Copies of this chain bind each other. A is one copy, B any other.
Amino acid sequence: MNRRSFIKNSGLVAGAITLASIPENKLFSNPKKFNMKATHKLQLSFVPYTLQLKHAFTLSTSSRTTTPVVLVKIAYDNYCGYGEASMPPYLGESHESVLKLLSQLNLSQFNDPFLSDDIMDYVNNTMPGNYAAKAAVDIALNDLTGKIIGLPLHKIWGLNPAKTPVTSFTIGIDTPEVVRLKVKEAEPYQLLKVKLGRNTDREMIETIRSATQKPMCVDINQGWTDRQKALDEIFWLKEKGIVFIEQPMHKNNYDDTAWLTQHSPLPIIADEAFQTNSDVAKLKGVYNAINIKLMKCGGLTPALKIAHEVRNAGMKVMIGCMTETSCAVSAAAQLSPLVDWADLDGNLLISNDPFDGMKIVDGKITLPNKAGIGVVPLKQKTDIAKFLK
């Protein structure tokens, strides 16, 4: 029996089954979704954009006031999915590299957005690396299919939106006066985050503690070099109400980090040490948890697989972000019911977010009741708003 006659025959069998309680249109559903019209093709468009940070973003090694991003649309029929690549300079991607990859893609060869496995294979094989550019396409494709299905992604994935965690909110390094102002600004958040790894670390913690006793976590960004000093510092931090330590030592320093994790009274989380799924196995036994970021692993689809794999390896899962618009942050938030900790404040740190999406309510990630990643472009008289229309 060939495929055509099989489909016809099974259709006949289906037609013969009359279930009193189940209207046939509910059993076999919307034929439009099944048979994407060959005349519709995926249309990719993209535009570079520069995020303005509310406060200078200071790491142990650098400081900056903008972040380059590229915003992406994939249109299909009357639907439109949004995506974003964010390129903090230390990760090696840029407007140029992302636009170069996206320009090489010919998504109009695909006429069914649900063939996402094939589409992302094609995108991922275009060139190695370039994870932020690939994440932008993956996010837009997930948003598009979520909108066609008509459900938020977390719902399609079977996740409970009531189980989202609180997000941490980063207090930048600054003078004691400004730090106290920032703590005030952080009033709505239940977990603060501080970037340490300088010789003013204890001062910074004491300044914050003079203003609030809220739980805090710290991100060392590979800033510590001596494991015994690092351990002493962690014991001191624990006394100060710190709840976990992110990336204490250099990402390639496995031995000292494993020793630190073994002796630390606080969980030790991998950030720079983790890029994508091939790293999970080698971080087992070295860290207690892994911070997954869409821009590093290439989007939502890989992030979902990695989250399950990290959990299965006995580690905890954190979801993080770069400075990003509400587009990429809302995408990451769709995964957040799965994670132990979230650091999804990237959109809160910028002053020119062109999207409305996930919100933080009483410090907790709150997922919009909208299809796909759950964002809508803000109605503004700007070039970026015109592009997003």
A377 CA / B19 CA spacing, docked (Å): 10
Binds B, one of A29-37, A217-225, A263-271: A29-37
> Which chain B residues border A278 with CB–CB below 8 Å?
312
Asked if A117 meets B13 with Cβ closer than 8 Å, knowing A20-B389, A150-B30, the reply is no
Minimal beta-carbon separation of A166 from chain B (angstroms):
14
Closest to A378 in B: B13
Cross-chain contact A115 with B376 (CB below 8 angstroms): no
A20 CA / B379 CA spacing, docked (Å): 13
Which of B1, B22, B145, B156 contacts A78, CB < 8 Å?
Answer: B22
> Which chain B residues border A370 with CB–CB below 8 Å?
10, 14, 27-28
A22 CA / B78 CA spacing, docked (Å): 5
Asked if A115 meets B379 with Cβ closer than 8 Å, knowing A33-B150, A78-B26, A368-B10, the reply is no
Q: Which of A111-129 contact B (CB under 8 A)?
A: 114-118, 120
A38, CB-defined interface residue at 8 Å = no
This protein's copies in its complex:
2
A7, CB-defined interface residue at 8 Å = yes
Closest to A357 in B: B10
Closest to A15 in B: B376
Complex A-B, nearest 8 residue pairs according to Cβ-Cβ distance, in ascending order: A29-B150, A116-B158, A305-B308, A117-B158, A30-B150, A114-B155, A29-B371, A13-B356
By a beta-carbon cutoff of 8 Å, the part of chain A in contact with chain B is 1-3, 6-7, 10, 13-14, 16-23, 26-30, 33-35, 78-80, 114-118, 120, 145, 147, 149-152, 155-160, 163, 277-278, 280-281, 301, 305, 308-309, 312-313, 337-338, 356, 359, 361-362, 366, 368-371, 376-379, 389
Enumerate 23 A-B pairs (CB-CB under 8 Å) in ascending A order: A1-B361, A10-B370, A13-B356, A13-B378, A17-B378, A19-B80, A21-B389, A27-B80, A27-B370, A27-B371, A29-B149, A29-B150, A29-B151, A30-B150, A34-B151, A114-B158, A117-B158, A118-B163, A120-B158, A149-B149, A149-B156, A156-B156, A309-B312
